[in-house]
Amino acid sequence: MEISILKNYFICSLNFRLKGKVAIITGGARGIGAATAKLFALNGAHVIIADILDELGNGLAESIGSRYIHCDVAKESDVESAVELALMWKGHLDIMFNNAGISGPGGTIANMDMDKLNRLVAVNINGMVHGIKQAAKAMIKARFGCIICTSSSAAVMGGLGYHGYTLSKEAILGLAKSAACELGRYGIRVNCISPHGIPSEMIADGYRLLLKKPELSVEEVQKQLVEKDKVLRGRNGSVEDVAHAALFLASDESGYITGHNLVIDGGFTTCTTSMKHMYD
């Protein structure tokens, strides 16, 4: 009887790991962002979904009892408005999940479209700066906060993404480490999450471009990822895996972790293809 009571208490406590905390999730309308918004809300957080996909974002916000704001992270004023919404709504901002990003231009380095690269930099790099900057302004006053940035396995291992995308994601790692060094004195933690091969609309867009198959579905992309990148047998990566990593970094359980890059890849960047074959 006592064991059952303790077990139920433990399960209930897990569902409130972010109780009362206010979180902004950019790119929160679908994919990793949407999965994280749901999980954060389930764990007691007051969530603001910030995205440019208004229909999806509003629908998700309504379904989980959160708030939605239109936000193009390339525009600092939009990010500032999202932070202002958090402060007006609940009076504080505890968690900033800078998740919004785009896949960017394909092609070789010799034929890269610079206009498309500039747009990618505006979203993936400038947008990340805007998120960290505006969140820091609110969190410094409170002497507390958690900032999480979505990078990629392409920042850890070469050849996993197009040049522009790789450039932007590696820049995020450097920015997060640098920000962690400065903001630590205010009790603000800054960490990265680097997913690999997670089936989502964004990675599907990249595969559609690469394979010149605009009709390719997320499910079809997932099959290709499993066949090519599988290391951890019996397990496929999902947006929920990344959401749980974000929950850990946002919670007090990771209170002594900052400047860290948490790679979610099922061991892919640790095990080379040639090494995997050695054990077959």
Active site residues: 165
> Measured between alpha carbons, how far apart are the two ends of the chain, in Å?
47
95-98 sheet: strands from edge to edge? 67-70, 46-51, 22-26, 95-98, 145-150, 188-195, 261-264
**DSSP of 68-111, one letter per residue?**
EEE--TTSHHHHHHHHHHHHHHHS---EEEE--------S-GGG
Is the Cα dihedral 7, 8, 14, 20 positive or negative? negative
Instruction: Tell me the C-alpha distance between 106 and 253, whole Å.
Output: 39
The pair of three-digit structure tokens given for residue 75, joined into one six-digit string: 């525009």
128 C-beta neighbours (distance < 10 Å), count: 29
Q: How far apart are CA 276 and CA 280, in angstroms?
A: 7
Q: Measured between alpha carbons, how far is 180 from 137 in angstroms, rounded to an integer?
A: 14
Dihedral-angle region of residue 180 (phi above 0 means left; psi in -120 to 50 means alpha; beta otherwise): alpha
